[in-house]
Amino acid sequence: MSKKVTKTKEGNVYFKKPVAKFLIILLWVVGLIPFLFIVYLRYIQTDSDSLPSVSMLENQEELLATTIFADDGMTELGKYWTINRTSVPYNEISPFVISALISTEDERFEDHSGIDAKAVGRALANMGEAGGASTISQQLAKLIFTLKERDERRSAQQDGLGKTEEEQRIEKMSGIERRLYEKVKENVIALRLERRYTKKEIITMYLNQFDFLENAVGISSASRVYFNKDAADLNYEEAAILVGMCKNPGLYNPYGFTVKDYSGRISARQNISKDKVSVEDMRAERETDSLRAISRRNVVLYKWYENSKKDNPALTSKITKEQFDSLKTLPILTDYQTVDHKEGLAPYFRESLRGKITNILNEKLDNGKLRYTKANGDSYNIYDDGLKIYTTINADIQRHAENALVKHLKNNIQEPFTKNNQRTDKYPFAYNIDESSIESMMNSARKRSTRYRSMRRRDISVEEAIASFDKKTPMKVFSWNGDIDTVLTPNDSIRYYKNIMRAGLVSIEPQTGFIKAWVGGPDINHFSYDHVAQGKRQVGSTIKPFIYSAGMQFGVITPCETTPNISYCVDVQTGSRPEDMTQWCPKNSGSKMNGEPIEFQKGLANSMNNITVAVMSKMGGVAGPRAVAKLMSNLNINLRKEDIVPAMCLGVMDLSLLEIVGAQSAFVNGGIYTEPTSIIRIEDRNGNVIYEHQPVSREAMSEELAYATLSMMQKVVTQGTAASLRGTWRGDWGGITQPTAGKTGTTQNNSDGWFMGLTPDLVTGVWVGAEDMAVRFRSMEWGQGARLALPIYGYMMQGVYKDPNIHISTEEFEVPYGYASSMYNCNNKSGSNGGEETPDFGIGF
């Protein structure tokens, strides 16, 4: 008896009935896999201890960069970050980004509950190798948790920590098994995310988490880095470019191909050395990458157009066929912004601020506990906790200050300084510096260098490391017109850098102590040393206003009182007995002392050292220095014991620019010293105030004494060593006619140039010099403070007064109520020396 055979047609193919039944069952099984997988995921949500808890989902914190704001509370000065991420809310993201992302990555975003059955099927079919996490919710789960767990496992291994049972189990899995395991967790997390967050919150979290490379994590940072604009302002094509990067930011980067070195890739492909890679091959490789970015952008635009045509309700913005046809032909244009801790406005200030914030956050109570903590008791981290630092810096004043400093050094000072130093075979050191001192300075510079420290870390001997400084090597060196690629010995590069002029500037609002501008040097990438707070140099004649103040406070002089224009001596105690006395009689050099009476206010205006010594002499060799030291202490400057001597009247002590400007601010503030500050408040990521500045003020001198000193300092500008500030003949830094008091300063051998400029709302100090005091101008013509430092103040204030965004007083200084003008003011006209400092006797002008 023959067996009956039934055939079934599937397309053009006929199968026996048992085979047909098997195929039908197989199709049903394959079709049900996504459904069964979802049921499984639902089941294990309540059964797995390895999954993130509900509380973790609801309280998960991103690693956020700390943002530093200027005094307007809106202008960003920079950030501190481990990951450069700044979160923005949904309504501050361009609707074009939202629509482009949904169209490209998850067009059913509004319809699913975190998992798309098609996506699950694709993931299983490819065993996780084809990027099955197709929904935005799944991609967010991966960004937040799966990658974080990998990092934690890696960190634990690096720290030598033991592995958990689960980690041991994961380690035994194959690559496919491990990825499938992670995929299961991602899908479960996606379901939980969907239950706890709205669609808007999920898409916002995703865009804030995604790493767009080039130190740009999150849509806000990416918008700023690639297009120099806020996320809300991105247009159609810019949105499409960034969304296109979500597939692979390295492959579709709109900027990376412009700077990437393709020689390694080409040499490996062609099996040749890097130096044999042709320019044409490099150009072709770069063009291929650029076209790849354009192609990906156009794919996004097309998907966006398709979803617009289908009237996808998830889209908040749509594009037409005409728009698509137009947009796809556009070239990619970026406005790339380098993101680095050192880039941007006020870099020296931000580096200084970093330490202050750390100290505040580490401050402890008497019981040893931290004063400022999170709700859970943990300490704050300035790199990860998304703090907001509101500072006192005025961005516009800061910009004028930075420009002024570089402009003067570059255009007016560096060339004559180089010519001055090239006149000696000890370049750049002064001709009278002995060789042993030069070698000591050179060796100190070698041992501070990155080269030396790196070699010593590799156990290279000191002798070999030092010898390497005589070998020529390719390097990039600073120049005022941009970095230069050159070949030098490291020793020659050290000498080259020692010849570059440095400077510092700080501006303080005298009434509040708020620091409005801080410029620590000309270029933080090459000169990291901060000449506002770190650097301490001899202050020269900038100390003289305090000497005259002490003299008036002591009751031995008044501004109008006269004294003979002669050389003076000060009695100095040398022992414990009354007869143990000697005289300090500094020699004058170059000043004309005709014996005629001269007013003390003119002595200050023209920075006459002999008249300043006369003030100290009248106070006494012991009482005088003590009186000055007491006044300086009230102004928060605590001098060393060895500085409290008669010679202090000529500025032999080393002080920072911040100290001297903070002290001189009291002359404008009615004798009240207010401690300089740069921080207004610190907020956490949610806007809660962690720290708020409390001003520290005290009376350092009477209001009348402060104003009397200030009036004398005004004559420095109208009739004395800073008179060039008011004249237009000195170039575009002159012509400052607004009420200004000031003081120039020059130290021994012209090593340092100083200028203090005081207005009713702003007290500014400028220092100019070389890295070493042994590198300097030969003559007073170039080396004096009126030539080195004063023009920087002039350039800056020209910009400040003309800037419509800056509002500082142009009125006269406020006269104290009941001020004894008959005692402090003089009615006759004092002479002028033409605005140049009188070269007296070498220590201070």
CA distance linking residue 548 with residue 555, whole number of Å: 10
pLDDT band (50, 70, 90) for residue 242: very high
- Chain CA centroid to CA 566, Å: 51
Pair 414, 428: CB distance under 8 Å: no
Q: Token match 């049900």: residue? A: 32
Which residues are within 8 A (CB) of 611 and not within 5 positions of it... i.e. 6 or more apart?
563, 565, 598, 600, 602, 603, 604
Select from 190, 197, 203, 189 the least CA-distant residue to 89. 203
* Euclidean distance between CA atoms 229 and 220, whole angstroms: 9
Render pLDDT for 422-478 as a digit per residue (tens, 0 to 9).
Answer: 998 999 999 999 999 999 999 999 999 989 988 888 889 999 999 999 999 999 999
Average pLDDT, the chain: 85
Torsion of CA 780, 709, 401, 655, to 10 degrees: 70
- Per residue in 636-674, pLDDT (tens digit) is 999 999 999 999 999 999 999 999 999 999 999 999 999
Res. 845 pLDDT band, cuts 50 70 90:
very low
Q: What is the secondary structure of 266-287 as a DSSP string?
A: HHHHHT--GGG--HHHHHHHHH
DSSP state for residue 682 in the 8-state scheme? E
CA separation for the pair 213, 234 (Å, rounded): 18
Distance from chain centroid for Cα 523: 12
**Cβ(688)–Cβ(655) under 8 Å?**
no
**Cα separation, 686 vs 691, whole angstroms:** 14
| 437 membership: H or E segment, kind and range | helix 435-448
Residue pair 840/588 in contact by the 8 Å Cβ criterion = yes
Helix axes 395-408, 790-802, angle to 10 degrees: 140
DSSP string computed for 177-203 = HHHHHHHHHHHHHHHHHHHHS-HHHHH
Q: What is the pTM of this model?
A: 0.77
**Sorting pLDDT into bands at 50, 70 and 90, what band is 167?**
low
- Written as one string, the DSSP assignment of 705-770 is HHHHHHHHHHHHHHTSTTGGGT-GGG-TT----S--EEEEEEBGGG-EEEEEEE-SS-EEEEEEE-
Full set of structural domains in the chain with CATH: 1-44 (no CATH), 85-327 (1.10.3810.10), 406-487 (no CATH), 502-558+619-824 (3.40.710.10)
Question: Which of 733, 809, 70 is CA-nearest to residue 509?
Answer: 809
3-class SS shares of the chain: helix, strand, coil, % to 5: 45, 15, 40
Pairing, β 388-391 against β 66-69: parallel
Residue identified by tokens 């009739």 is 719
Token couple for 289: 């990458």
List, for residues 517-562, the tens digit of each pLDDT value: 999 999 998 999 999 999 899 999 999 999 999 999 999 999 999 9
With contact defined as beta carbons under 8 Å apart, do 791 and 391 qualify? no
Q: What is the pLDDT of residues 560-578, one digit of tens each?
A: 999 999 999 998 877 777 6
Range 9-44 burial, b when 16+ CB lie within 10 A, else e: eeeeeeeeeeebeeeeeeeeeeeeebeebbeebeee
Residue 629 pLDDT: 97
What gap in Å lies between CA 657 and CA 768, rounded to an integer? 11
Query: Which of 619, 610, 607, 616 is closest to 646 using CA atoms?
Result: 616
Reported as a single tens digit per residue, the pLDDT across 38-60 is 555 444 444 455 555 555 555 55
